[in-house]
Structure 1
């Protein structure tokens, strides 16, 4: 297996060179430009190439047609399986039931608001909070210095809208609904 993180950031024809053709036509051997032996190269039939993408980065959201033709796309959203419920399970498994009581609901509420406002590509994933020893202080730091700046890009100058995403406000909503 070959894992390429943020695959859509790369100029894949340049990165893969002649192999880009082989991704689509695996049964065909390719003559590699810099191969000293001159022997044709063929991708292994059992090769799995897994590329991740973050479509929240609007500058790279458009995917080259050649890339789309060669790969299958499987979206992962925090409000759908297999990601839905992951944060809660993680926190419980790591002895953080105190945070698990409210943090997953905070993310669900924030993500619902983002989706309603047309920002489905900017939903907040659980990985922000999946670290060993996560505690409320770390959650606050991550929220204030990672999540809020991302939201400020989505709602430039809209303080009223941004106030809806204040951690304490969302935490209070989680307490009344949970």
Structure 2
């Protein structure tokens, strides 16, 4: 199955639905909010899982087929129409008329509408009785350390160090400046350590000021009759890992320093330590009073933007339970040099050289430092056509210069100086 919006490039480069929405509006010069399109792309990448049943539709009343998702997200850079792909085993194809009106959105989760699901499944009752049984037999694409190194601009020695540290500590925070590819690297690190692109064993959440223990572990939620005790994301993930102790599981936390960490982790501060894992170390949960432990096959990967001035330092109790790994701009790596050489663009070469000098200026600034340098991901997945049709100019004007305005808000002359240098480098 495929979904469009090819101008966005690989959707995995976007950290949030809001980033996708803004890019859609810019790239397609749209006067509309693009909220639904951004949601569809986000769900296509993050929420669809192998084993999910999908229905293909046309218009508001016609079903064209049913299938089972078998693969994780892929980006086909050679497809200009539908480059965003999920591998699907199509169990049925044809034409079926639905009396129920179907959503107009390109992708809609209908799990919460059991009557509609039952209506659609009724078209396939004669043939689909073994669908769920077959859906569980999924072969995930292999993913090796070599695959990681081919996609993430990091040398082999640093990758081995990263893996060894995570294996030993169980918990790690990837920290770095904007655009160094923290989110991009985190999922691929998990895949490379698992040896397969098994999205079922990887979960990502994003912390924010309102994220709580009730979201993370468990808490009471209101319903029509009163309150239900509902389990949170990390609790459910740990239970899933307990039932599959032969395989590794990876829980990824984006923007880990944006949440109130003592409030979110609660009594789990102790249980996430590498030497406190397993059923021999249990604690009673706050609401259910259940004895709970964190399995030894669960790894935590946090991500932290070192350039966000609005955030306080991490809680020391959490800091000593995590290892910290700096992701740096990769302009000097062999893999980025090979990518740059493949573009064969003097304009791109001049811009990269200018960014390297800009990073030197940022690093030497006493009020900034290395944590504010500009990362390489702003310039990844650019084609020769992008260099010609103004993509570089858009990156400079709408992404880099606004960032420099924040960095040097009290030195506008310095912003103007570097904005001029960046723009002249691509002329």
* Count of residues in Structure 1 that have an aligned counterpart in Structure 2: 165
**For the residues of structure 2 that align with 1:138 and 1:162, how far apart are their CA atoms?**
21
Could you tell me which residue of structure 2 aligns to residue 123 of structure 1?
Answer: 373
Higher helix share: 1
What is the TM-score of this pair, normalised by structure 2? 0.35
Quote how far apart the aligned CAs of 1:102 are.
2.6
Correspondence for 2:257: 8
- 1:17 and 2:17 aligned: no
How far has the Cα of 1:157 moved from its partner? 4.6
User: Map of 1:131-170 to 2, 5 A cutoff?
Assistant: 131=381, 133=383, 135-136=386-387, 137-166=390-419, 167-169=422-424
Q: CA deviation at 1:132?
A: 5.1
Give distance in 2, aligned partners of 1:61 and 1:108: 29
How far apart are residue 91 of structure 1 and its match? 4.1
Q: Which has the higher contact order (CA 8 A, sep 6+)?
A: 1
Give the Cα separation in 2 of the matches to 1:15 and 1:49. 14
How many Å apart are 1:168 and its aligned residue?
2.8
The corresponding residue for 2:343 is 96
**Superposed displacement of residue 90, structure 1:** 3.8
- Contact 1:88–1:100 (CA<8 Å) still a contact in 2? no
Q: Which residue of 2 aligns with 1:48?
A: 299
Task: Write out the 4+ residue segments of structure 1 that deviate beyond 4 Å after TM superposition.
Answer: none
Higher strand share: 2
Distance 2:337 2:400 in 1: 19
Distance 1:157 1:43, change over 3 A: closer
**Counterpart pick for 2:284 among 31, 36, 40:** 31
Q: Structure 2 vs 1, CA of residues 90 and 53 (structure 1 numbering), >3 Å: closer, same or farther?
A: farther
Change (3 A) 1:91 1:34: farther
Matches of 2:311 and 2:373 in 1, distance apart? 17
Structure 1 residue 96: Cα displacement: 2.4
Question: Separation in 1 of the partners of 2:255 and 2:337?
Answer: 26
Larger Rg: 2
Query: Structure 1: how far apart are the matches of 2:391 and 2:312?
Result: 30
Secondary structure, aligned partner of 2:324: coil
Match of 2:316 among 62, 65, 69: 65
Q: 1:19 to 1:106 in 2, by over 3 A?
A: same
Q: SS of the counterpart of 1:70?
A: coil
Q: Which 5+ residue runs of structure 2 have no aligned equivalent?
A: 1-249
**Considering only aligned residues, what root-mean-square deviation do their CA atoms show, in Å?**
2.6
Q: Which runs of 5+ in 1 are unaligned?
A: none
Contact 2:358 2:418 in 1 (8 A): yes
For residues 35 and 132 of structure 1, what CA distance do their matches in structure 2 show? 51
Normalising by structure 1, what TM-score? 0.78
* Inter-partner Cα distance in structure 2 for 1:130 and 1:162: 24
